[in-house]
């Protein structure tokens, strides 16, 4: 992949008098598919992020100019020299701050990429990040040159084909029924009105699945979702198409949402509308959503001057419909992303409420490691941040694709109905693999 000569000349100039702080060198590129570009690059980590919405900006990035592990289950503070710079860190947090997370991912990490491809509508640019924060400037310049020399042209992918040879669910259906019965018992309901239980469906594959090809095919079926991918080592990649925003922060303005309560889609517009009306009127699903938005508003109260809750609506995805209530808040000037994540993550939509009691139930019963499933992932910067709740996701390794799905268990939940909901939540990606 050709790098403009002016970029290499600028690196030579910097060697004579290195600046301080962050320097971003940017040039236009002709790249239609950031995911095709990403899968061709040899440099790790590989990162992908696209916000929700038809005009959302795509980010595909490789390498690390700076990397920060999570601290006590919270995102790191940005380096002081980046406080006024346009520095975007991409990464995520595990669901449970007390869990070490998946191997290679840890409890959380955020990366300022060495090279960041940014695509807005029909225009793309590539950015080289250099960080002069007291480190050896010669070593930083050499790392930047090496990253540029390693760049490769985009590589179109072969279409996906069926590859699954077996499936193992954890828990099995009988164990799931036992968990739901236990969670809805009067004893447990007195502790936690809602517990979100999850399942891991491990799909064994006859050949390795290219995670970026799978994500590309998946996102075309989930256009109204957040799209993300994180690969820190050759052994595993975490990808997903999540419908749920944890929060978006623009300065002091915060947007969040309560996404809970689910029914299927039928495919016929009139029947879908009838199903949506039934969903909004259903006591069990209304209660599930109410528990979520009440908890979010209570947790935002100390951080915000004002918070408001919109009327309930229905979000229609390809196979499912969810109740959603938008939340908007004006944050106090001292609030940072660490405060927001400490308050909001994990939300009742993926953990339950009260949080501590729900997490205690999950820790006692779930035998699989959630890792970054139901965690928080996205982009952080000084002026803005956006994170999605990491649901509708998969962990891809050489021998398997592990799918994760959860269901909110409240009084009135029926084990078979909740199991069917899990199946519906993984249906899109399953259909690409079997």
Tell me the catalytic residues.
194, 244
- Residue 399 marked ligand-binding: no
Question: Between the CA of residue 389 and those of 166, 279, 322, 396, what are the distances in Å?
Answer: 28, 22, 15, 19
The b/e string for 213-252 (b: 16+ C-beta within 10 A; e otherwise) is: bbbbbbbebbeebbbbbbbbeeebbbbbbbbbbbbbbeee
Q: Which of 66, 390, 70 is nearest to 230 (CA)?
A: 390
Question: Which residues lie closer than 8 Å to 160 by C-beta, 6 or more apart?
Answer: 209, 213, 214, 217, 432, 433
Question: Between the CA of residue 283 and those of 193, 271, 287, what are the distances in Å?
Answer: 14, 20, 6
Question: Which residues lie closer than 8 Å to 342 by C-beta, 6 or more apart?
Answer: 74
Question: Between the CA of residue 175 and those of 147, 199, 360, 410, what are the distances in Å?
Answer: 49, 11, 18, 17
- Residue 421 marked ligand-binding: yes
Q: Which of 24, 25, 29, 30 is nearest to 6 (CA)?
A: 25
- Binding-site residue ranges: 288, 421
- Binding-site residue ranges for Mg(2+): 288, 421
């Amino acid at each position: 992949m050709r790098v403009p000569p002016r970029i290499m000349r600028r690196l030579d100039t910097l060697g004579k008098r290195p600046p301080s702080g962050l320097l971003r060198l940017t040039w236009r590129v002709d790249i239609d598919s950031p995911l095709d570009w990403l899968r061709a690059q040899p440099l790790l980590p590989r990162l992908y992020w696209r916000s929700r919405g038809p005009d959302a900006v795509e980010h595909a990035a490789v390498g690390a100019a700076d990397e920060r592990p999570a601290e006590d289950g919270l995102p790191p503070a940005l380096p002081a020299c980046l406080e006024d710079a346009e520095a975007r860190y991409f990464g995520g947090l595990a669901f449970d701050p007390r869990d070490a997370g998946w191997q290679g991912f840890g409890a959380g990490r955020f990366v300022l990429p060495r090279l960041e491809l940014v695509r807005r509508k029909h225009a793309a640019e590539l950015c080289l990040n250099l960080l002069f924060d007291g480190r050896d400037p010669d070593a930083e310049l050499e790392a930047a040159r090496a990253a540029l020399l390693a760049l490769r042209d985009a590589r179109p992918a072969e279409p996906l084909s069926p590859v699954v040879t077996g499936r193992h669910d954890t828990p099995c259906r009988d164990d799931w029924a036992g968990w739901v019965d236990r969670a809805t018992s009067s004893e447990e309901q007195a502790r936690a009105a809602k517990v979100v239980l999850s399942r891991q469906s491990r799909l064994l594959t006859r050949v390795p699945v290219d995670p970026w090809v799978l994500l590309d095919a998946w996102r075309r079926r989930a256009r109204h979702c957040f799209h993300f991918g994180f690969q820190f080592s050759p052994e595993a990649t975490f990808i997903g198409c999540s419908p749920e925003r944890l929060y978006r922060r623009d300065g002091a303005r915060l947007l969040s949402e309560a996404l809970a309560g689910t029914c299927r889609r039928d495919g016929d517009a009139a029947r879908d509308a009838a199903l949506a009306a039934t969903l909004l009127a259903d006591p069990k699903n209304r209660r599930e959503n109410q528990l979520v938005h009440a908890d979010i508003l209570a947790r935002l109260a100390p951080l915000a001057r004002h918070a408001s809750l919109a009327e309930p609506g229905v979000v229609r995805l390809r196979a499912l419909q969810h109740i959603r209530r938008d939340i908007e808040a004006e944050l106090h000037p001292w609030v940072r992303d660490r405060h927001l994540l400490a308050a909001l993550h994990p939300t009742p939509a993926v953990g339950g409420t009260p949080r501590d009691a729900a997490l205690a139930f999950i820790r006692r019963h779930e035998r699989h490691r959630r890792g970054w499933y139901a965690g928080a992932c996205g982009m952080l910067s000084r002026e803005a941040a956006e994170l999605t709740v990491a649901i509708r996701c998969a962990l891809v390794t050489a021998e398997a694709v592990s799918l994760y799905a959860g269901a909110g268990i409240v009084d009135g939940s029926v084990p078979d109905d909740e199991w069917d909901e899990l199946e519906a939540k993984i249906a899109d990606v399953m259909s690409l693999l079997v």
